[in-house]
Amino acid sequence: MTKINQVIVDREVPCTLRDGVTLYANIYRPQARGSYPVLLTRLPYNKNLPNYSHRWIDPIRTVMQGYIVIIQDVRGRYASEGEFEPFVQEAKDGYDTVEWTASLPYSSGKVGMFGLSYYAFTQLYALVEQPPSLKAIFPAMTGNIFKEPFGGDGVLALASSETWMLDSVAPDYLKRKLSPEEYTKAIKELTKDLDKIEEWHKYTPVKDLPPVMKHPVLHDIYRNYMEQEYNQKALAHTDGKNYADYMNIPAYHLAGWYDNFLSQTVMNYEQMSADNPNQQLIVGPWGHGMVGSELGERSFGVNSSAHSIDGEEDLTSLHIKWFNRWLKEDHDTRKADEDPVKIFVMGINEWRTEKEWPLQRTIYTNYYFHSDGQANSQTGTLNTIVPANEPNDHYIHDPVNPVPTHGGGTLFYNGRNAGPRDQRVIEQREDVLVYTSHPLEESIEVTGSAKVVLWASTDAVDTDFTAKLVDVFPDRTAYNLADGVVRAKYHNGKSKADEVDCYEIELSPTSNVFLPGHSIRIDIASSDFPRYDVNPGTGETTLDTVDMVKAKQKVFHQAAYPSHVVLPIIPD
């Protein structure tokens, strides 16, 4: 390979799409003559900001390894022309851009795509149009194009949605729609509102959020986004299909145990690997775009960081190694017997490889919830004994005073409130039920997706139930590992006030060893706010209503109603 010492940067290079709209990109390429494979990323966050253009991989270092790196503003964002409709436009625009990059005079004609979050969505949507020059992708911390990214089963990821709209979308959108004088005034207002975004999360009805309503040009994009109009239009392209119906190409999926898109990223791997063995998955103890060794209130060791993965490689080298294989046919970059899955096991804080996900050797084990029999007690026990006939536990869910979000796979403003955090302050509330095992005598590894099977009733027209898996340390600190939520009227197509019903709450994947002296804990509540929109109990949602009613919740522990968690336990 020709040694590359000099890099040329071409700024604001136009790409004209099939409908005449022009998108603009920055191109990093070798000065040395020749043809090179292209690594493309397409983003709505400004290709000229280093935090977005240089943070995920180092384009200079990548070019020096024999690649062209192209970073493009998507339609309707920053330098690019057109109207921005989140997700809707990315399939056709992705095809046109991939084929344009393949036609450049210094391109080898082989294209790979990379990036996280929205610019991983642009990779997945490009598959829908099947551009022939696209040979491999590296989607990181992203959603599944057959799901709603910020909502599902009637539950809205409230803080993520409002934050993304106000912080990520609104500034450039306002600049494009307003005169310079109007924009100066509007951006000052928006900045003030972002400074108090936690308070705005409490505002109802959500559709009339004041930081949006004061800017008429934002009304349509906000309404369409919050009411899932854009998602539905994008989903229409994929109706009734799956990844196998589109382009069957290699993909390296990157996820974090505390990323808001964790479940969907893992779902991408599972669905793609069912039809294409050329898939890899890596999951670290990371949050959304936060891939260091510390997150929340915990440190996982220097080599947990994506900048020093197991002390051997970083994000850029991981990408180069992957694309060398598929764009340069460098088959030596992966041994024939190399395991496709690499996970970080918390608790013991070690990396490990696996041959599949979920792990075939998993022993799914029921741990049952038990009442302690004390009136008004919110604590109980957790063990493998099926309950006989114990008193139910109960609490009042007050949507005016919801259980606050405390850590987890959040996507809040500036990364706030993410990751593992001590749950004791939450567990002291009267609207949280806490079930804890006795301290363990031997280690237990939980790797995979746990599921809570909750036998419960409510006197409300509609309600939510949330569940959280927690690792309780010998000093009683209690760190969250995984969580989930279910909305009553969507779990089985109807709500049944005051009737005992079975609610299945799928928890996000995790990997953790509960060490000797630690305890396994499950927390049950009816809100996790503002991570999710609070259920007002009326059958409506806070998107449209300000009316709220309290709900009396009961959780049952009987032979006929054995509430429990199904833990994916990995044998020694």
- The 10 Å Cβ neighbour count of residue 214 is 12
- Cis peptide upstream of residue 358 (ω within 30 degrees of 0): yes
> Among the options 53, 117, 133, 519, which is catalytic?
117
CB 97 within 8 A of CB 118: no
Q: Is 288 a catalytic residue?
A: yes
For every residue of 368-389, DSSP letters joined together read EEEE---TT--EEEEESSPP-E
- The 10 Å Cβ neighbour count of residue 499 is 8
Q: Pick the closest to residue 567 from 463, 501, 482 (CA basis).
A: 482
CB 160 within 8 A of CB 528: no
CB 385 within 8 A of CB 368: yes
- The 10 Å Cβ neighbour count of residue 173 is 20
> Among the options 193, 259, 398, 523, which is catalytic?
259
> Among the options 288, 370, 491, 518, which is catalytic?
288
| C-alpha span between 90 and 123 (Å, rounded) | 8
Q: Is 103 a catalytic residue?
A: no
Tell me phi and psi for residue 99, to 5 degrees.
Answer: -70, -30
Joined tokens for residue 115: 């990036």
Q: H or E element: which one contains 344?
A: strand 341-345
CB 456 within 8 A of CB 556: yes
Buried b (16+ CB within 10 A) or exposed e, 374-397: eeeebebbbbeeebeebbbbbbeb
Q: What is the 3-state secondary structure (H, E, C) of 278-302?
A: CEEEEEEEEECCECCCEECCEECCH
C-alpha neighbours within 13 Å on the C-beta side of residue 359 = 25
Q: Is 259 a catalytic residue?
A: yes
Bridge partners for 386 per DSSP: none
Active-site residue set: 117, 259, 288
